[in-house]
Amino acid sequence: MKPLTLNIFLLITLILLLDKHQNEKHSFGVLADPEPYRSAAVIAAEARARARAIEAENRARRARLEAEARARRLEAEARARRIEAEARANAARQFILYF
């Protein structure tokens, strides 16, 4: 997800979470279950932490893919150099055998 899309998603999620918990109060104003009534700052901090974790996972995945691509490229270059060296050696042998 792009950062802006992620921020919008988190904002909508927070609004829905806060709205969902508004109807869970008793008529006397006593909370039915105090756990869901975390402050908006705590919920936002948790959302930011989740977003950072997702971004870190994405960076790690991207780095791993780049490292794998680099390793494949280096292997292909080494294989090409080896084939080229073998071709030169074969050409040299053919030249020596010719004369």
Distances (CA, A) of 41 to 14, 18, 69: 10, 11, 41
Model-wide pTM > 0.95 = no
Percent of the chain with pLDDT over 90: 45
Give the pLDDT band of residue 96 (cuts 50, 70, 90).
Answer: confident
Q: SS3 of 65, please?
A: helix
Where are the domains positioned within the chain? Answer: 3-98
Mean pLDDT value across the chain: 82
- Residue pLDDT, tens place only, 24-46: 554 455 555 555 667 888 888 99
For the segment 58-78, the average pLDDT, to the nearest whole number, is 96
Structure tokens at 48: 């930011």
